[in-house]
Amino acid sequence: MRKLVASMLMGGAVLSTPVIGQAASNDELLKQGMKNESIYEVKDSLKREGYLKGEVSTYFNYETKVAVQAFQQDHNLVADGIVGTKTYKELETTEVEQGASSFDESAVISKAKSLIGTPYKWAGTTPSGFDCSGLLQYVYKESVDVEVPRTVADIYAAGESVKEPAVGDIVYFETYKEGPSHAGIYLGDNQFIHTSTSKVVTISDKNSSYWSERYLGAKKVK
């Protein structure tokens, strides 16, 4: 039966279908202990989306199961660690959505959150200390290899305006001078991460009385 299915897959347009799609169309279940090419594709997708670290291989080990469970939980699927049709489809959907995006927002957020607690430093651009634009410059470069300008005003000028911020966008504020003078990375649910001039890299509420009065808008990084 497997040979018959394999020979059928060799014909026509099926060859252009991703391996994930091939496995899904065959209702193939992937689980711990298995080894095949479909597992490589699944693990590659999980790694690109930030769920899996290390080398990608064709072997479904325990770490792969944990990564699959985390992905399933985040996408409201049964978190059994087994890759079936629903998980395949969700992986493909996520891949398409990320392909339409300029960068991986989850990588940006993960890098930014890893820097929480870093002290403020005037003109700082490294983990020993950041100013607000230095944090943005470092996070986008290190997480998705996107270079942004050095100053908030220049980052604002280079961005693409959006009506409402999405995760990974930059939110801007007018603080000590007219125009954009402070900025942070939007996390969702009105939260953003930034370098506070009086504190450290921290998370704040965009809708708080202080920040809502100074909010200028949001832009995507180009």
Q: Give the integer Cα–Cα distance in Å for 212 and 183.
A: 13
Q: Identify each DSSP E strand in the chain by its residue range.
A: 125-126, 129-130, 160-162, 170-173, 182-188, 191-195, 201-205, 215-220
Q: Give the integer Cα–Cα distance in Å for 76 and 124.
A: 40
Q: Give the integer Cα–Cα distance in Å for 124 and 177.
A: 20
Catalytic option among 20, 49, 109, 194: 194
Name the percent of the chain in helix, strand, coil, to the closest 5: 45, 20, 40
DSSP tag of 93? H
Whether the CB-CB separation of 177 and 165 falls below 8 Å is answered with: no
116 is an active site residue: no
75 is an active site residue: no
Whether the CB-CB separation of 134 and 195 falls below 8 Å is answered with: yes
DSSP tag of 66? H
Catalytic option among 20, 42, 109, 132: 132
How many CB atoms neighbour CB 124 within 10 A?
A: 19
182 is an active site residue: yes
Catalytic option among 39, 118, 181, 182: 182
CA-wise closest residue to 106 among 163, 50, 35: 50
Q: Which residues are catalytic?
A: 132, 182, 194
